[in-house]
Chains A and B, each alone.
Chain A
Amino acid sequence: MKTWIIAKNVLRRIAHDPRTLVLIALTPLLFILLYGYSFTSGHPTHLRLIVVNHDNGLASVRTEAAGRVTLSLSLGDQLVSALDPRTFDVIHETDPAAAQAAVKAGRAWAALVLAKNFSQGMVDSVLSTTGRRVFPYEGRTITVLPPEQTETGFARLDLDDSNPSVSEAILSALKTAFSGLLPQEQNKETPTASPLVVTPLYGGGTVSLLDYTAPGVIGFAMTLITIMLTAISIVRERTTGTLPRILVAPVHSFEVTLGHTLAFALISILQVAELFVVSYLLFHIRFLGSPLVVALIVAVYAIVLQGIATLLSTLARNEFQAMQFILVILIPSIMISGVFWPIEAIPQHIRFLCYASPLTYANLALREVMLRGRGIAGIGLELGALGGLAIVTLGLGIAFLHRQGRSG
């Protein structure tokens, strides 16, 4: 058996390549560290919630002993203080229309509007479900009777439901805050009907997990295929000697880089089109926006990926090293770009890393268009970031290739 001889030779070759050795040691570490840190909470945090609190704090109730009395409860203020500070970043607003517009524009996940009669409505709601109750009143306790009629619409929530796990986290945290509103001993039975009237912006529960993850997964597939094809192709050009031969011809380095970019960007766009068509026809993924806007995002992202791939190819001396470098780029992409779990669920102290990954912007932009039906105006920030990254990565790719062409 010559197996060990063959294995020894393979290991010896790897041991002679310090760059590969470092990458072999670092790649699994990067994988597990990012996974561990980014998935610590698994629960979305710091979600922007706009609160419009118009509650006057009063509730007029019928009592057995004293007839009709007015209780001063300030349940609106209590609710706002009971909102979990880890789940919500609360923004106060006075105009309900402005709050709703902010949610529609994607500046917040939800707008909670508490009407003037919020305290009244809450008390009536609890009493109508649980019957008579004892309340503290002017230093004593009084028994309050159920209301003759109850009102609705005193607590409204305009919810951006394009992200199922974020919606779930918001509703769950609000439920907890609502259930803690009235004194503990009187609240043993939770009201059966929630007083909160939820208006989902995007169909209410029709955004499935598949819809939510599809844009990111398509973006990830594009990252994987494009970077691999481009980087390996350029490294092969160099190791087989065709790249130096091209660089001796009257061709500028930028023409070489842009030539590869053009070819692989076209391939990339065709592959992504294939992914979209199959996902749409077979799995009926949600696609509200314009295919042209999606094509624009894909085209700009393809250029970013070409730049990254060119950079990687200039760092790698052979195909083996190129593969290792590709993994170093791909692992963070899938872990911290909000593909499977939302960026909001990643601990805040490492959340800045998410914004260093180009896939984050592609993913966010694709989601805006596909799930929320936004146009170019709605993805200006993401598209701008991708455009900037395209210029930087491609510029560096050209510079590195030029430098390498002159340094062997």
Chain B
Amino acid sequence: MDEVIRASGLVKRFDDRTALSGLDLSVDRGALYGLVGPNGAGKTTLIRILCGLLAPDEGSAQVLGWKVPSFRVRSQVGYMPQGIALYADLTVRQNLAFFGELYDLPRRTLGERIDEVLSLVQLLDRADQPVGGLAGGMQRRVSLALSLLHKPQLLFLDEPTVGVDPRMRHTFWEHFEALADQDVTLLVTTHIIDEASHCRTIGFLNQGKLLTQGTPDEILERTGADSLEGAYAALETMEAA
């Protein structure tokens, strides 16, 4: 297994707040990696650094073998931000077509590819509706479809299931697992520990530091807890001590 993400000693400060304090991370190809932590733990900051949107104050990160920020990796990376980040006044199809062109997808197959990703998020029938007119959960689904459009090797999904109904959430996770089976690497952030159990590898993040990482079973065994929630609480207490 080769390493797709490698971060060492990442530090990021915002005014008087430290979002990341010397974080190390390693994610292998084909991993479905869940980054779990409470609000403000540093999950989004880490993803923004790995996407090249933020520069770390200290430390460095490599994505797909390139030190970030790197223009070379952009076409191979998909990013679903926490916000909707779509043009509300454009239709679903227009949004996808615009980003498809930015990712250099061939024009003749772009329409087909848009239909494919919209079918996946079950929004094909809404393709010609303005995004602003869709319910919040549907907008999240369009956002996910957009991040999958160019078939990236690596997907950064920042709280992808927030506001999505339970049935669709289940479909999302099924699809994430299918992608990982196809050797796509997924780094998914969530603050809902239950959801993290879908991930094959989990990293617990607190106050900008990685408390531990491993498979759910490894973490349970390591902490002696009977649930991931319990494991997180135990690790947090140990860290505070």
Grouping DSSP codes into helix (H, G, I), strand (E, B) and loop, the B interface class, with mixed when no group exceeds half, is loop
A252 to B74, CA, bound (A): 11
Q: Known: A248-B79, A250-B103. Contact between A405 and B88, CB under 8 A?
A: no
- The yes or no answer to B66 lying at the interface (CB within 8 A) is no
Is the pair A250, B75 in contact by a Cβ cutoff of 8 Å? yes
Cβ 8 A contact of A240, one of B55, B84, B102, B104: B84
Is the pair B74, A248 in contact by a Cβ cutoff of 8 Å? yes
- Residue of B whose beta carbon sits closest to that of A403: B55
Is the pair A244, B53 in contact by a Cβ cutoff of 8 Å? yes
- The yes or no answer to A251 lying at the interface (CB within 8 A) is yes
A244 to B83, CA, bound (A): 11
Question: Nearest-CB distance from A257 to chain B (Å)?
Answer: 15
Q: Known: A240-B88, A242-B86, A242-B87. Contact between A248 and B53, CB under 8 A?
A: yes
- Residue of A whose beta carbon sits closest to that of B99: A249
Q: Known: A240-B88, A249-B102, A250-B103. Contact between A406 and B54, CB under 8 A?
A: yes
- The yes or no answer to B42 lying at the interface (CB within 8 A) is no
Is the pair B102, A242 in contact by a Cβ cutoff of 8 Å? no
Scan residues 54-113 of chain B and give those whose CB is less than 8 A from a CB of chain A.
54-55, 69, 71, 74-75, 77, 79, 81, 83-88, 99, 102-104
What residues on B are CB-neighbors of A241 within 8 Å? 81, 83-85
Cβ 8 A contact of A251, one of B48, B51, B55, B102: B102
Q: Known: A240-B88, A241-B83, A241-B84. Contact between A248 and B54, CB under 8 A?
A: no
Is the pair A245, B52 in contact by a Cβ cutoff of 8 Å? no
Question: Nearest-CB distance from A302 to chain B (Å)?
Answer: 24
What residues on A are CB-neighbors of B79 within 8 Å? 245, 248
Is the pair B85, A249 in contact by a Cβ cutoff of 8 Å? no
Scan residues 240-268 of chain A and give those whose CB is less than 8 A from a CB of chain B.
240-242, 244-252
Interface size counted on chain A using CB atoms at 8 A: 16
- Residue of B whose beta carbon sits closest to that of A245: B85
A241 to B79, CA, bound (A): 12
Is the pair B53, A406 in contact by a Cβ cutoff of 8 Å? yes
A248 to B48, CA, bound (A): 9
Is the pair A248, B84 in contact by a Cβ cutoff of 8 Å? no
- Residue of B whose beta carbon sits closest to that of A240: B85
A244 to B158, CA, bound (A): 14
- The yes or no answer to A67 lying at the interface (CB within 8 A) is no
What residues on B are CB-neighbors of A252 within 8 Å? 71
- Residue of B whose beta carbon sits closest to that of A405: B53
Is the pair B86, A406 in contact by a Cβ cutoff of 8 Å? no
Is the pair B88, A248 in contact by a Cβ cutoff of 8 Å? no
Is the pair B71, A250 in contact by a Cβ cutoff of 8 Å? yes
Cβ 8 A contact of B51, one of A240, A242, A248, A407: A248
Question: Nearest-CB distance from A17 to chain B (Å)?
Answer: 15
Q: Which of A246, A248, A252, A406 has the most CB of B within 10 A?
A: A248
A242 to B98, CA, bound (A): 11
Per-position 1/0 for A230-246, Cβ under 8 A of B = 00000000001110111
- The yes or no answer to A408 lying at the interface (CB within 8 A) is yes
Question: Nearest-CB distance from A398 to chain B (Å)?
Answer: 15
Scan residues 375-408 of chain A and give those whose CB is less than 8 A from a CB of chain B.
405-408
What residues on B are CB-neighbors of A247 within 8 Å? 52-53
- Residue of A whose beta carbon sits closest to that of B85: A241
A241 to B51, CA, bound (A): 14
What residues on B are CB-neighbors of A246 within 8 Å? 102
- Residue of A whose beta carbon sits closest to that of B77: A248
A279 to B103, CA, bound (A): 45
Q: Known: A240-B83, A240-B88, A406-B53. Contact between A249 and B71, CB under 8 A?
A: no
Q: Known: A408-B48, A408-B53. Contact between A242 and B85, CB under 8 A?
A: yes
A251 to B104, CA, bound (A): 10
Cβ 8 A contact of A250, one of B86, B87, B102: B102
Q: Which of B53, B81, B86, B104 has the most CB of A within 10 A?
A: B53
Per-position 1/0 for B147-168, Cβ under 8 A of A = 0000000000000000000000
Question: Nearest-CB distance from B15 to chain A (Å)?
Answer: 12
Is the pair B55, A245 in contact by a Cβ cutoff of 8 Å? no
Question: Nearest-CB distance from B204 to chain A (Å)?
Answer: 24
A240 to B51, CA, bound (A): 18
What residues on A are CB-neighbors of B146 within 8 Å? 245
- Residue of A whose beta carbon sits closest to that of B103: A249
Question: Nearest-CB distance from B139 to chain A (Å)?
Answer: 11
A241 to B48, CA, bound (A): 12
- Residue of B whose beta carbon sits closest to that of A252: B71
- Extra A-B contacts (14), CB below 8 Å, given A247-B53, A248-B52, A406-B55: A240-B85, A240-B86, A240-B88, A245-B99, A247-B52, A248-B51, A248-B74, A248-B77, A248-B79, A250-B74, A250-B104, A405-B53, A408-B48, A408-B53
15 A-B interface contacts by CB (under 8 A): A240-B86, A241-B83, A242-B85, A244-B48, A244-B53, A244-B85, A245-B79, A245-B85, A248-B77, A249-B75, A249-B102, A250-B103, A406-B52, A406-B69, A408-B48
Q: Which residues of A contact B (CB under 8 A)?
A: 240-242, 244-252, 405-408
State the 5 A-B residue pairs at the shortest beta-carbon distance, nearest first: A241-B85, A249-B102, A241-B83, A250-B74, A250-B75
